[in-house]
Structure 1
Amino acid sequence: MKPNNLLLLLLGLLALSCSSGKNLSFDSSKENLHLYLLMGQSNMAGRGKVQAIDTLTHPRVFMLDKNENWVLAKDPMHFDKPGAGTGLGLTFGKIMANEESNIKIGLIPTAVGGSSINAWFADSIHRQTNTYPYDDMIRRAKKAMESGTLKGIIWHQGESDSNSKNSLNTYPQKFEAMLDSLKSDLGISSIPIVIGEIGYFFYPKAKFAKDMNGVIRQIANSNDCIGLVSAEGLNHKGDETHFDSDSYHALGTRYASEMLEIQSNCTSIFNY
């Protein structure tokens, strides 16, 4: 069942916790802390206005902060650029936590605004932020996996690769190569992945943006362990590039719904 926005609001309010402790530790089995990697560029990092609901924590939803400490998750979750704000990750995490009362959710923010697919390979620098998105992601994932078990990846990226026909044509191969490297570096054989369309409102700003969504759908259709989230009906915050806060909430709901479906259909997922 797909939660609607009203249910999302209720989930956030009912799950409110006043605690915001640093350096949290987990005494239970690693199997009880479900980890999710948040990867991509600015629309995964989040650029929405932080609203009251985005500061409400859930007692079983955590994030690995900039200093690699576990803290209760709230927006802004990412720290890639000063403009980081509300994104889709917190909504996603709350819904996943409410599916099972005996588990905790550990979100691993790794998205980098402005990064193309080319930045998501080992030793590849992203000049805008002077960071190494892939290497940083692997380091943070390994740190998180000391406490929990990786259960999925959510990916939102493509705007930076929408201006070049060559980028469009090579995107599927690069995406597959990135995942192969990730699985090898993290010691996993398969993982459920949910990827999202870029905003339809972005089409006038990039020559091949609409075609990029076609490529994203193609990737999702190529593997039973990859799910697709539509951007239909979602709005931008006024810049025709980034979703507004309400749309990020909707995206988080869609990502969670799709992840749950993929996890139920994707067999032999975890083989360490």
Structure 2
Amino acid sequence: MRNLLFSALFLTVSPVIALAQSTLPAGLSPANFHLYMLAGQSNMAGRGKVDSLDKTPHPRVWMLTKNNEWVPATEPMHFDKPAVVGVGPGLAFGKQLAEQNPNVFIGLIPTAVGGSAIDAWQPGGYHEQTKNYPYDEAIKRVQLAQQSGTLHGILWHQGESDSKPELAAVYEQKISQLIGRFRQVFGSPAVPVVVGTLGDFYIVKNPAAMQINAILTNLPRHMLRVTCADASGLTDGGDATHFNAQSARELGRRYAKAMQALERTKP
């Protein structure tokens, strides 16, 4: 009942939400402002140690802040758990895309929520740790961003919270439905989606994660315009769960390479 009531309230109030004052360059057209949604749980939000490199913005890579304002992108971009948030793959992803296409600006939309299971990524889905609704909040933020730019892709990194035999058994169905729902709600039925596999270190810690990785790797075989960024060979920050900063940046570059390959294919 709570989920239904919240969804109804969300649909009622969402039209009045607006972007805060923005500092985007004057004259930037939506066609040249390429938007990318960063979704999932903590490894997309980022837990790597922030360095000076991560505080150096690229002039054509921007992010949507918690207050719905466009600013030059720097780490940490996410705000799900302020005490632990750090370097994730998003900024390196955006910088690589910008470097390889000097004619566009990149807009990154942080929406990941650490610890969120895929069940929280459905309408009305509630996440107890952060006391929020990951899917509903993400939808609001992406739709706001679409006022300024054009959605060009979705990045997804999630699965640790579903790395249990009973949850992994239904993960393929749930992530397929989620991707379809994203595409429908954003009015972009062929938007490219890149999913990322879980780290090798996490599989050593939790062998059930092997099933999640198998599903993520296999997803492009039955969904169009979906591909997988392989996280194999990357390292953790000491907790056997989260990528360290160097590996998070490398994962971002792998996401960028996978996204560029999808964008070159016709819908």
TM-score, with normalisation over the residues of structure 1?
0.87
* Secondary structure of the corresponding residue to residue 123 of structure 1: coil
5 Å-filtered alignment, 1:17-32, equals: 23-26=22-25, 27-32=27-32
Maintained 8 Å contact 1:191/1:225: yes
CA distance in 1: counterparts of 2:85 and 2:228, whole angstroms? 24
Maintained 8 Å contact 2:24/2:71: no
More moved, 116-125 vs 176-185? 176-185
What whole-Å deviation, never above 9, does each CA across 1:53-98 have from its counterpart, x for those lacking one? 1011000000000000000000000000021101110000001111
What 5-or-longer segments of structure 1 have no aligned partner? 1-21
What 5-or-longer segments of structure 2 have no aligned partner? 1-20
CA distance in 1: counterparts of 2:33 and 2:75, whole angstroms? 20
5 Å-filtered alignment, 1:129-168, equals: 129-163=130-164, 165-168=165-168
Shift of 1:262: 0.9
Maintained 8 Å contact 2:197/2:231: yes
Question: How many positions carry a matched residue from both structures?
Answer: 245
- What is the CA RMSD across the aligned residues, in angstroms? 1.2
CA distance in 1: counterparts of 2:218 and 2:232, whole angstroms? 17
Partner of 1:77: 77
Partner of 1:114: 115
CA distance in 2: counterparts of 1:118 and 1:173, whole angstroms? 12
Shift of 1:180: 2.0
CA distance in 2: counterparts of 1:116 and 1:219, whole angstroms? 18
Shift of 1:218: 1.4
Partner of 1:234: 234
5 Å-filtered alignment, 1:108-257, equals: 108-163=109-164, 165-257=165-257
More moved, 205-214 vs 52-61? 205-214
CA distance in 2: counterparts of 1:207 and 1:60, whole angstroms? 40
Partner of 2:13: none
Partner of 2:94: 93
What whole-Å deviation, never above 9, does each CA across 1:15-59 have from its counterpart, x for those lacking one? xxxxxxx72135222100000000000000000000111011000
- Opposite residue 119 of structure 1, the aligned amino acid is A
CA distance in 1: counterparts of 2:114 and 2:142, whole angstroms? 19
Partner of 2:10: none
Shift of 1:221: 2.8
What whole-Å deviation, never above 9, does each CA across 1:144-199 have from its counterpart, x for those lacking one? 00000000001100100002x22112111111111222222212212101111101
Maintained 8 Å contact 1:200/1:210: no
Partner of 1:63: 63
CA distance in 2: counterparts of 1:74 and 1:177, whole angstroms? 32
Q: Percent identity?
A: 45
Maintained 8 Å contact 2:48/2:242: yes
Maintained 8 Å contact 1:159/1:209: yes
* Secondary structure of the corresponding residue to residue 169 of structure 2: helix
CA distance in 1: counterparts of 2:35 and 2:184, whole angstroms? 17
CA distance in 2: counterparts of 1:73 and 1:139, whole angstroms? 20
Partner of 2:9: none
CA distance in 1: counterparts of 2:250 and 2:60, whole angstroms? 21
